[in-house]
């Protein structure tokens, strides 16, 4: 199967709307372990720029992305269907530039494929000229997630642990 054979939400990734960014990755893991890595504070910190995600992971509950006392993003868990789908509102607050962007939406979809999972992350409801910081970190986050689950190691690319030393 080639990338040209893969369809995401009825659209090919390279034809997505400008207000929608679609990221897809295959990870050798189980849906349960992948869900845990998305929702566990300590695991999330290892691949999400050093920031953890805290919540009770129920529909309508609040979540926060933070590193120590530094709040990076907030939102609401709109849909919670473990270990298949998580839909969240997303409001970035790490800088004045991203705060002006307002709220967007992030959808995590987990699909088992043989002994692996296809993880599709769709970041949508973005403004047409959305600041690149809002969605630009997804390739590094997802690469870090894949590295962690497949090797047990953390990704050490520049920026991958950006907030790991925050107060």
Is residue 10 one of the residues assigned to a domain?
Answer: no
Is residue 109 one of the residues assigned to a domain?
Answer: yes
Per-residue model confidence (pLDDT) at position 164? 62
- Is pLDDT of 9 > 50? no
Is residue 41 one of the residues assigned to a domain?
Answer: yes
Chain segment 118-141, per-residue pLDDT in tens: 999 999 999 988 999 999 999 999
d(CA 60, CA 86): 12
Domain count for the chain:
1
Per-residue model confidence (pLDDT) at position 87? 98
- Is pLDDT of 1 > 50? no
Is residue 78 one of the residues assigned to a domain?
Answer: yes
Per-residue model confidence (pLDDT) at position 5? 37
Quote the radius of gyration of the chain (alpha carbons, Å). Answer: 15
Beta bridge partners, 71, equal 66
- Is pLDDT of 15 > 80? no
Kindly give the interhelix angle for 138-151 and 31-39, rounded to the nearest 10 degrees: 120
Q: Which of 93, 118, 120, 122 is nearest to 105 (CA)?
A: 122
pTM of the model: 0.85
Is residue 11 one of the residues assigned to a domain?
Answer: no
Is residue 166 one of the residues assigned to a domain?
Answer: no
């Amino acid at each position: 199967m080639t990338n040209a054979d893969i369809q995401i939400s009825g659209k090919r990734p390279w034809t997505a709307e400008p207000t929608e960014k679609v990221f897809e990755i295959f990870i050798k893991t189980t849906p349960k372990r992948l869900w845990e890595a998305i929702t566990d504070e300590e695991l999330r910190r290892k691949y999400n720029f050093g920031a953890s995600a805290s919540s009770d992971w129920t529909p309508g509950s609040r979540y926060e992305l933070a590193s120590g006392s530094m709040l990076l993003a907030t939102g609401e868990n709109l849909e919670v269907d473990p270990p298949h789908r998580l839909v969240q509102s997303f409001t970035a607050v790490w800088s004045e530039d991203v705060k002006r962007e307002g709220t967007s939406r992030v959808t995590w979809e987990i699909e088992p494929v043989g002994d692996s999972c296809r993880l599709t992350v769709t970041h949508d409801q973005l403004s047409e000229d959305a600041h690149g910081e809002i969605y630009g970190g997804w390739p590094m986050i997802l690469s870090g997630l894949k590295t962690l689950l497949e090797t047990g190691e953390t990704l050490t690319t520049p920026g991958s642990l950006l907030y790991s030393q925050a107060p």
